Amino acid sequence: MILCAGRNETFDFAKPIGVGLIESAINLTQLVLEEKPAFLFFIGTAGSYGSYQPLDLIYSHSATNIELGYLQNQCYTPLKNQIEADNIYVSRGTNHPSPIINSSNYITTDVTLANKMLEKNIELENMEFFSIVSVANQFNIPCSGLFVVTNYCNENAHNDFIKNHAKAKELIALHVKKICIL
């Protein structure tokens, strides 16, 4: 099953599951219970903490859920905040390293905090991926994600996202059609 966030990030060959951690977790759980997919392949855009450039194409099966206050030692969590897919869905042409994708309901706009993410080997952010990997692991479903970078996580994040979003969606669609039988 190919998944996407929804709203302004939809594809005719993917099922939208909602934006952010909560919508995506609830809607994906419902989809899994109703449709019992053999795999989950999430496609979407991501912001770069600095290692990747806009319009780079990235595969991953590793996710974190780290809020920015955690980087500033202003909070803690008793929850596991870094996970990997228990079973990795690998399609043709996906034998690449798996960067860690951070998921939060907020977009990072502070370069200093983006650099702190890099120090922890976290390279990208996408609002939904931690939920996708969590649900996949809960139901023992292989999963992976494909991302195209739209922006750096800095003060221009939103404007660069808007500027690059259409091209990023086009690149995602081209790549998925190339590697998958649709």
- Pairing verdict, β 40-48 and 2-4: parallel
- Give every residue of the chain whose pLDDT is below 70, as ranges: 89-97, 181-182
Domain count, the chain: 1
pLDDT at residue number 94: 46
Q: Note down the domain range covering 73.
A: 2-179
pLDDT at residue number 90: 62
CATH number at residue 167: 3.40.50.1580
pLDDT at residue number 63: 98
Within 13 A of 139's CA, how many CA atoms are on the CB side? 22
**Each residue's pLDDT tens digit, 45-87:** 999 999 999 999 999 999 999 999 899 999 999 999 999 999 8
Residue 44's contacts (CB-CB under 8 Å, 6 or more residues apart) are 4, 5, 9, 126, 128, 129, 145, 146, 147, 172
pLDDT at residue number 174: 96
pTM score, two decimals? 0.93
pLDDT at residue number 88: 82
CA distance 182 to 175: 12
